[in-house]
Amino acid sequence: MQGVRYPLLDIRNLRGPNMQPNSSYNHPDQPVRHSYPLAISSAGFSESISLLIKTMPYVLIRFGILVAVSIVSILWFGATFGGAGLLGHTLHPWIGYAWLFAGLGIYGWIWATVVRYGLYLIKCGHIAVLTELITTGAVDNGKMRMFDYGKKIVTDRFSQVNTLFALDVLIDGIVGAFNATLDFVTKFLPIPGLKALANLASAILKAATTYIDETIFSYNLARGEDNAWRGGRDGLLYYCQNSTEILKTATICVFADYILTAIAWVLFLAPAGMLAMFLPFVAGWTALVAVLFAINFRQAVLRPLFLIMIMIKFHSCIKGQAINEEWDERLRALSPKFNQLTAKIRAV
């Protein structure tokens, strides 16, 4: 890489007084940063399906919450816009506007502070359970129930879980900047001049970007890292080193997403269409319910499946792998957000 050269980062200089490793698997000063075991036999689609089935309680609770939120949202927006129209017509337009803005504001607050954060904590618990299954093959050696273990990890690492919110933003920006430098279309889809292939490549890169921050959280849990920023940095370097293999998995995720989403729409909409044939007066409602179930099925079932695929590929690729510090220099020159992440390591 041409341009200004930065000194390589010496991780030993970034350790504060409270930054001692809290796990025998965590080696921040060594070329190989981790030594956690892997219980998975492969990094394929069947292994991902197996892990998804094993953690089905998390899938079902997320699906139930999303469906409930969707139904409440429809009713809420109906009351908000309907009430605004009624009050504006019968009383005064400003009263209608006040009702509208109040309804939208309250909904936005509830979504941002209650629903979204609750779903986020459930996702973190799910990742904790998945990480335990990937590394040991059982949840706390079979001593704890799945939800209890997920709750314990989220509670014990609550500060790190909250840090992940800010870390996500940095990781997304850094991975996005790195992915933009990849000659992905030429390397994987060597047919120039086709916009559809360029769009497909963009979707593949987006898929990798979407799941890598959650994968890095899993990596921090697996190695017992007590500094989320340090683990985030190492996880990013490992992603860059193994981007080819991870992007191959992301390619499978994109095609599987297209196929499985289409199947889901057929499975949910076909019964609704048949019911509408016999009961036309409920056609609109059945179609709406089917659409809600299809959309939420993708969010609650398919997206965790693709996350698992990226996770197990990442963990498999980096097993016993020494980190290449040259990527530190490249990312420093590529993205200012990587320098922000490095500065936060020093601040802990």
Do the beta carbons of residue 246 and residue 261 sit within 8 Å? no
Q: Give the pLDDT confidence score for residue 10 in this predicted structure.
A: 41
Q: Give the pLDDT confidence score for residue 203 in this predicted structure.
A: 73
d(CA 253, CA 203): 10
Q: Give the pLDDT confidence score for residue 171 in this predicted structure.
A: 87
Do the beta carbons of residue 62 and residue 259 sit within 8 Å? no
Q: What is the pLDDT of residues 316-332, one digit of tens each?
A: 999 999 999 899 999 98
Q: Give the pLDDT confidence score for residue 4 in this predicted structure.
A: 34
d(CA 67, CA 51): 23
The residue whose two tokens read 């989220």 is 154
Question: Which positions ≥6 away from 285 have C-beta within 8 Å?
Answer: none
Quick count: other Cβ atoms within 10 Å of Cβ 159? 10
Q: What is the pLDDT of residues 36-65, one digit of tens each?
A: 999 988 888 899 999 999 999 999 999 999
**Residue 182 exposed, middle or buried by CB count within 10 Å (0-12, 13-18, 19+):** middle
d(CA 252, CA 239): 17
The b/e string for 276-297 (b: 16+ C-beta within 10 A; e otherwise) is: beeeeeeeeebbebbebbbbbb
According to DSSP, residue 84 is labeled H
According to DSSP, residue 321 is labeled P
Do the beta carbons of residue 166 and residue 95 sit within 8 Å? no
d(CA 44, CA 9): 34
In angstroms, the Cα distances linking 26 to 122, 162, 214, 224 are 25, 21, 19, 6
Q: Give the pLDDT confidence score for residue 15 in this predicted structure.
A: 37
User: What are the residue ranges in the chain where pLDDT is below 50?
Assistant: 1-22
Structure tokens that stand for 211 in this block: 């799941």
Do the beta carbons of residue 39 and residue 136 sit within 8 Å? yes
The residue whose two tokens read 């985030």 is 232
Alpha helices in the chain (DSSP H): 45-54, 56-90, 93-110, 116-136, 146-156, 158-180, 184-188, 195-223, 228-241, 243-278, 283-297, 303-317, 326-334, 336-347
The b/e string for 47-63 (b: 16+ C-beta within 10 A; e otherwise) is: bbeebbebbeebbebbb
d(CA 345, CA 348): 6
d(CA 299, CA 304): 8
Q: Give the pLDDT confidence score for residue 198 in this predicted structure.
A: 64
